[in-house]
Amino acid sequence: MCGTNRRKTKQQPCSSANSSIHPSIQPIPAHSLGEGRGSPWTGNGGSTLYALQQLDDIYGKALGQLRVILIHAGGFSQRLPSASALGKIFTAMPLGDPLYQMLELKLAMYVDFPSHMKPGVLVTCADDIELYSIAEEEHVMFHKPGFTALAHPSSLSIGTTHGVFVLESCEKSQQVEMEISSCLRFLHKPSIKTMHDCGAVCKRPDGSLSEFVYTDSTYFIDFETVKTLRNLLKELGPLQCEIDAYGDFLQALGPKASLEYTDNIANVTKEESCLVEIRQKIFWLLQGTPLNVILLNNSKFYHIGTTLEYLFHLTEDVALRSELGLQSSAFSIHTDESSGSCVMCSVLDPSCSVGAGSVVEYCRLGAGVSVGRGSVVSSCWVSPGLSVPDAVFMHSLCVSHQGRTGFVTVAFGIDDNLKHSVEAPAHMERLRLFECSLADCLSHWGMDSEVLRFSGDTPSCSLWNACLFPVCSDQRSSFSLSLEMLKAVLSGSTFALTKGTKLMSMQESLQSKNLEEMLTFRKGLYKDITERRQKN
């Protein structure tokens, strides 16, 4: 990471970040960790436990000498569907040549950690960026027993959607860039009232009336505690419910931790009868384990886990663009870089236009194609002359269907909630697609509400599992067909699909995804961009 002569500033990746990863960081192939060890509903906490067990199977006693980084790849990514097929850890970032992904950025941000870390596991998410500044002579050190978490000053409103630390003392006599504190308890997505009642709210040392809390990001587990977590999996057996690596692990820590949280299922994707019992077992196993907090007072935490956050941070956020050196056009053939948009690993005809606030990634755009304002176009091949409206999300996936390769392009409004569900198709008018009820959308497409299929084995119905999008034989036809359906709704006109057209949901497309072909498309873009740049 680049720095200055006097300050150690983790805010600007060097151009050689790919080659400067610490020599002690050695990647473990995904297949080495195995697949299918647990229920798909085990959550990031369950996947953490299974990964630790796999590491023990592979390394045995040698694991006690290793420093491991464990990154949660991103789950279903229903709030940022362009990352669903490959995982959020492979989300493109508009910097680097060739293009960086979130994985390279994470490794670059943490490049100094291994040399100041005892054996253990560093746990982090794939959809956040932490930037901080500390004095040149200081280091972020992970050497204490138990858990050690990074903490960032945040507004109380941000605290309601993150984890919040309750410290021994929130009174600050002076503002230092980094300090170590013990944590009394951890609150997971608390209300503002709960923050005040539990003593989590701090006041700034300058005497101002502004209040703040310390929120979570990355945390470290020393090896002795890792062994405790491995034993937990042996005690629990095969997991059949969702465990959260933050809410369920960290809430059990600290001298003021209590069992109250084990009954709270507000943030659980799928409720299971065994959840409370398993949470209680985690609590009793981890109770008494220290939770140390490294307060990074001069730091920022950026979350890029939703479509709106993704658009804002990559196109409008002046601070992040400056701090990381984000580009408007990264590893792309794109002539117009002044529109306030972001284009990544894409080939655009010179006559194309991309509206302000839009992101185009891994795409081919033909002559005269226009993309409106505030839209996401991902992994698409757009035929000449087509126009993408404002504030829409379009993403193409390659699927294997009936022994053949096909393509599906999903289309949603930027503000559509893919997680919102209703109990039965009869209530689909409560599902909103492109600001219209789903029932109204079907009428524009000449489709009967009674025959609409919802994929999956659960009775709930949502935009995520609604089979709305046609399967086509090629990528360009797939995009054109979904775009016609989208425009029919926005214009109030009608559009009828050919009789017998196979329709898939986003959920079903992921279950049938053909990653090899999707990566082949990206490789073709890489080759084309490289060759064109060499010629120029």
Question: How confident is the model at residue 174, as a pLDDT?
Answer: 57
Note whether 156 and 192 are within 8 A (CB). yes
Q: Using CA atoms, how far apart are residues 211 and 204, in angstroms rounded to an integer?
A: 7
Same domain assignment for residues 231 and 331: no
Same domain assignment for residues 230 and 355: no
The set of residues, in sequence order, having a beta carbon less than 8 Å from that of 381 and lying 6+ positions away, is 363, 364, 396, 475, 476, 479, 521
Question: How confident is the model at residue 383, as a pLDDT?
Answer: 98
Cα Rg of the chain, angstroms: 24
Same domain assignment for residues 332 and 451: yes
Domain extent, residue 200, equals 44-303
Asked if residue 20 is part of any domain, the answer here is no
The set of residues, in sequence order, having a beta carbon less than 8 Å from that of 356 and lying 6+ positions away, is 315, 339, 340, 341, 373, 374
Question: How confident is the model at residue 7, as a pLDDT?
Answer: 42
Instruction: State which of 303, 321, 356 marks the end of a domain.
Output: 303
Q: Helix, strand or coil for residue 256?
A: coil
Same domain assignment for residues 188 and 280: yes
Question: How confident is the model at residue 323, as a pLDDT?
Answer: 93
Same domain assignment for residues 190 and 150: yes
Question: How confident is the model at residue 9, as a pLDDT?
Answer: 45
Asked if residue 29 is part of any domain, the answer here is no
Do strands 67-72 and 120-125 pair parallel, antiparallel, or not at all (unpaired)? parallel
Question: How confident is the model at residue 32, as a pLDDT?
Answer: 37
Asked if residue 54 is part of any domain, the answer here is yes
Note whether 481 and 498 are within 8 A (CB). no
Q: Using CA atoms, how far apart are residues 165 and 359, in angstroms rounded to an integer?
A: 35
Asked if residue 58 is part of any domain, the answer here is yes
State the CB neighbour count (10 A cutoff) for residue 535. 6
Question: How confident is the model at residue 13, as a pLDDT?
Answer: 37
Tokens 């993704």 correspond to what residue?
310
Same domain assignment for residues 402 and 427: yes
DSSP string for residues in 462-519? ETTTB--EEEESSHHHHHHHHHHHHHHHHHT----PPTT--EE-HHHHHHTB-HHHHH
Same domain assignment for residues 297 and 349: no
Q: What is the number of helices (H) and of strands (E) in the chain?
A: 13, 31
Q: Using CA atoms, how far apart are residues 351 and 16, in angstroms rounded to an integer?
A: 34
Same domain assignment for residues 297 and 325: no
The CATH number for 133's domain is: 3.90.550
Can you give the pTM of this predicted structure? 0.88
State the CB neighbour count (10 A cutoff) for residue 214. 27
Domain count of the fold of the chain: 2
Question: How confident is the model at residue 366, as a pLDDT?
Answer: 97
Smallest CA-to-CA distance from 369 within 396, 398, 336, 344 is with: 336
Asked if residue 32 is part of any domain, the answer here is no
Asked if residue 227 is part of any domain, the answer here is yes
Instruction: State which of 234, 268, 303 marks the end of a domain.
Output: 303
Question: How confident is the model at residue 75, as a pLDDT?
Answer: 82
Instruction: State which of 249, 270, 303 marks the end of a domain.
Output: 303
Q: Using CA atoms, how far apart are residues 474 and 404, in angstroms rounded to an integer?
A: 11
Q: At what angle do helices 223-236 and 43-59 cross, to 10 degrees?
A: 110
Asked if residue 81 is part of any domain, the answer here is yes
Q: Using CA atoms, how far apart are residues 317 and 229, in angstroms rounded to an integer?
A: 39
Same domain assignment for residues 89 and 183: yes
Q: What is the pLDDT along the chain (536 residues), one digit of tens a residue?
A: 232 223 444 443 333 233 233 334 455 544 334 333 444 458 899 999 999 999 999 999 999 999 999 999 888 899 999 999 999 999 999 999 899 999 999 999 999 999 999 999 999 999 999 999 998 889 999 999 999 999 999 999 999 999 999 998 766 545 789 999 999 999 999 999 999 999 999 987 766 668 999 999 999 999 999 999 988 888 887 888 888 999 999 999 999 998 888 887 665 555 566 888 888 999 999 998 999 999 999 999 999 989 999 999 999 999 999 999 999 999 999 877 777 999 999 999 999 999 999 999 999 999 999 999 999 999 999 999 999 999 999 999 999 988 899 999 999 999 999 999 999 998 999 999 999 999 999 999 999 888 899 998 878 899 999 999 999 999 999 999 999 999 999 999 999 999 889 999 999 999 999 999 999 999 999 999 999 999 87
Same domain assignment for residues 437 and 451: yes
Q: Using CA atoms, how far apart are residues 255 and 268, in angstroms rounded to an integer?
A: 25
Same domain assignment for residues 200 and 317: no
Same domain assignment for residues 243 and 392: no
Tokens 């906490």 correspond to what residue?
45
Asked if residue 512 is part of any domain, the answer here is yes
